[in-house]
Amino acid sequence: MESYLKENFEVEPKNPTEEALKKWRSAVWLVKNPRRRFRMVADLAKRAAAEKKRRKIQEKIRIALYVQKAALQFIDAANRTERKLSEEVVQAGYDIEPEDLAYIVRSHNNKTYDFHGGLQGLARKVKVSLRNGVLSGDIPKRQQIFGYNQFVEKPQRPLWMFIWDALQDMTLIILMMCAVISVGVGIATEGWPKGMYDGLGIILCILLVVVVTAVSDYKQSLQFKDLDKEKKNIIIQVTRDGTRKKVSIYDLVVGDIVHLSIGDQVPADGVFIDGYSLSIDESSLSGESEPVNIDKKKPFLLSGTKVQDGSGKMLVTSVGMKTEWGRLMVMLSEGGDDETPLQVKLNGVATIIGKIGLAFAVLTFFVLTSRFILVKFIRGEMGKWRMNDGLELLNYFAIAVTILVVAVPEGLPLAVTLSLAFAMKKLMNDRALVRHLSACETMGSATCICTDKTGTLTTNHMVVTRLWAAGDTKDIKTKEKLKSSISEKVLTVLLQSVFLNTNSEIVKDDTGKTSIIGSPTETALLEFGLLFQNNYTQEAKNVKIVKVEPFNSVKKKMSVLVALSNGKLRAFCKGASEIILNMCDKVINEDGEVVQISDKQRKAITDVINGFACEALRTICLAFKDIETGSTSDDSKSNSNSNDIPESNYTVIAVVGIKDPVRPGVKEAVKTCLDAGIMVRMVTGDNINTAKAIAKECGILTADGLAIDGLAFREKSDVQLKEIIPRLQVMARSLPLDKHKLVTFLRNELKEVVAVTGDGTNDAPALHEADIGLAMGIAGTEVAKENADVVIMDDNFKTIVVVARWGRSVYINIQKFVQFQLTVNVVALMTNFVSACTSGSAPLTAVQLLWVNMIMDTLGALALATEPPHDGLMKRPPIGRDVNFITKVMWRNIIGQSIYQLIVLGILQFNGKKLLNLNGPDSTAVLNTMIFNTFVFCQVFNEINSRDMEKINVIKGMFDSWVFMIVMVCTVTFQIIIVELLGTFASTIPLSGNMWLASILMGAVSMPVGVVLKYIPVESSTPSHDGYEPLPRGPELA
């Protein structure tokens, strides 16, 4: 079976090929209900059509953006006149129509832009201050006139459509036809109402199956819709009511002033207000990979594009479906998401079992019909055919079709969807947003986690605790003592460096309380600056910012060029201490004088940096350089090369040590990973000494582990890498390309299943390459999140471990469900087939088999596929990349339980009347009811058995799983109702108390049988979990 599955039903978890997707679809055979079975499977034809349509729109946009003459084909902007304002717009107080406003950015035509008065003209027309932004009270009015920032989405399918989908099952349709015929023939032969009971029973049972199935599917779809909305929710920084604040992308309105920085997604169409070195990647819209530089001459920003470099502010001019991105998003949603490897594999299992089931159904019908005809022949009644004979043959056909209903496990692939939906919802509560379904599965196989340090292992609440300036190291304790120990000249240039060279902003809320919006490192520096100078705007009053180079993870520094009040230019630079120190040839002494730096001083500063780093402090070096000549014209503000910021000959101002404590619980989470066979590697841009100190504190770096910096890593050959990477635990001062190289090597050469964290734009290639990309929800850019499979909403390493637990839980839960369903399949098929061959009748009727099908399909999936994870899952090694899905342990349990159940049901079938002392005309009906009841209770107790495939105590945690308990109670309750009250429809007879007790006891014996089976040794690919020794890994064993 496994070789067949690997050959035909194998797809990659990420970015599967079109060929692999088509291959498994063509291999699927005997699908009862394609509409339901493939509801969560990508529609390749629809996807291809949507892609074609998307490319057409992209081509139109590309022409409009890059070929101005072609853009003018649509509307001659030069001759364009302003359309008359509608009554609605006039009453709202605006001076421009929404369509005119949207056209300005969409056309990318400066003439139209100038026609409306440029930036200031548009701001006047939409009634907004470029300084204070939109007033909160105006938002409803703006949404009414200019629209909401939401895209048209397919409406949620109502419940009746899911009921309709469930009714498309071919076998159920055949059964309903049989039931209708049965009612007609029954009434004709047996009269009303007795003649209709058999057929009506089947119809009612089919309706029950359909409703339960439809409600389950409907609830899943609601969960996916909620998660999908959460995936698209982006937090935007805007200026409103004169203050900078964070809002949801859905709440953005025309007139908003949006702040953009590296990695952000442009949330709506708009025009550039101001900024520095703003570079936009428009490939998502136009297909062009070349970035576009945005300035006052090229001010147009399109929704859905990404900020590749720089920073800036924009005025929103159109939102939602009035943007090009809105039109394109409708296309992007067509075709659905790729199916997961487990869904594909279980479609394969369903196909194999379906073929076997079809053979049994045909054989059963053939045997029953042959026996019936043979009996008629022996009795010499071949020439006499009555209505009852036709009804009997119809009943045989109904039984054969019902066997097919039971035999084709349509619920297997759908159980994966159910389990994943449940896991995704729970993970959302645990602060992890799963973007791609397959990540839930793959995380269970992760053998290695490459994690960032800042914010993931640490709290990201940074405070400056140490300072080196003017040759002296100081602890940051009291402001007065610190201020007295630093000369006025040194303090002046230090504060200039802090307040001018920053991407963050100090704002006051409605209550007047000061807060800082920006990265944690910048926040720590600004809070340090505020100790000395409360009037933080003072430094900016007498200077003019000429050019800014924002921080990026490759250069590991941020620079700014400012024009001082005396007309001279001064550059400030800050960043990774050793990198900035190498750019400096001078230093400020204790008198505030600039002097040449000696080798002795350079060594002393290096020792200070290493000293701070060994105390687990993040070190930042601040430097400046005065420039004698240069222009300060406005043109230089927007991407001019006339004032490039220098790269050398700086003067060292200070080195600061920033404390970022390790998160509570991280050490325990790392130990959990090591016990679970998951190697944790820290990959950080920080100083190697800081990285080593934090790694030791977290339990990542062990005595025999290796810590290396990015430069040394890059110089290693592939042979050397193969030797060192198994021991590599810390990589410091790494570039994004180093992370990508490490992930690629681990996956391709060492065959590891790699999870990697990332937050920056440059982390996107590594996130995309990894088996599981984990983006940070707080510190992460939109580019990083878009390339990730899971977004860690709280940036906490502990949450990553939770995702790993759920990943293992999903895989194990599906295995448990498969084990349970295959056991029911084997027993139901064999019981009816053997009985048909020997006695010429089937003990389980069509109605009873439909009920059994619901127990093992929808209800079984609900019970077993939604079991929450337990700690024991993290005391076993990861699930291998190429392990057999149906393990030897599962086969042992399936075969053992099937043999027990077949023996019990066989004894009842052939010797039941004698054992149970049954006499009288209804003895056969009582026996058949007893067989049915015993069979159902065998499944109830086997469902409990299936909660753990290896552990003996299967009761542990059962009462904590409320879904499991509800399913168990419902199953037993409905079984009592069917046997005791619905005998007319279900062909059952009420049983005595002793009979009920005997049925329950025979079912319950399957639990001690399960215990005995678990003592039978089989080769297991993974050792058992709870109660066993953890794997011999971890800091304490180094």
Q: Say which amino acid occupies 424.
A: M
- CB burial of 285-318 (b: ≥16 within 10 Å; e: otherwise) equals bbeeeebbebbbebbbbbbbbbbbbbbbbbbbbb
H or E segment and range at residue 73 = helix 68-74
If one counts every other C-beta atom within 10 angstroms of the C-beta of residue 726, the result is: 12
Distance CA 946, CA 934 (A): 18
CA pair distance 691, 614, nearest whole angstrom: 9
Nearest to 822 by CA among 860, 876, 796, 785: 860
C-beta of residue 96 within 8 angstroms of C-beta of residue 323: no
Contact indicator for 602, 582 with CB cutoff of 8 Å: no
Percentages of the chain per state (helix, strand, coil), in multiples of 5 = 55, 15, 30
Which residues are CB-contacts of 22 (< 8 A; sequence separation ≥ 6)? 44
Catalytic residue among 338, 452, 759, 857: 452
Q: What is the DSSP string of 331-347?
A: HHTTT-PPPPHHHHHHH
Candidates 995, 997, 845; CA nearest to 913 is: 995
Give the SS3 label for residue 15: coil
Whether 452 is catalytic is yes
- 85 Rama class: left (phi>0) / alpha (psi -120 to 50) / beta: beta
Residues 6+ apart with CB under 8 A from 904: 934, 938, 1002, 1005
The residues, ordered by sequence, that sit 6+ positions from 907 with a Cβ below 8 Å of its Cβ are 915
**Cα(912)–Cα(904) distance, integer angstroms:** 10
Cα(947)–Cα(964) distance, integer angstroms: 10
- Asked if 295 and 276 count as a contact pair (C-beta separation under 8 A), the reply is no
CB-based contact 106:324 (threshold 8 Å): yes
Contact in structure between 429 and 794 (CB atoms under 8 Å): no
CA 449 – CA 774 distance, rounded (Å): 10
What backbone torsions phi and psi does residue 444 show, to the nearest 5 degrees? -70, -20
Alpha carbons 267 and 234: distance in angstroms, whole number: 8
Distance of alpha carbon 790 from alpha carbon 428, whole angstroms: 10
Tokens linked to 397:
């056909």
Handedness of CA 715, 719, 724, 730 (dihedral sign): positive
Rounded Cα–Cα distance for residues 256 and 1034 (Å)? 52
Beta-strand (E) ranges in 428-568?
432-434, 448-451, 463-469, 472-475, 505-508, 514-517, 544-552, 557-563
Give the whole-angstrom CA distance, residue 333 versus residue 42: 11
Active site residues per annotation:
452
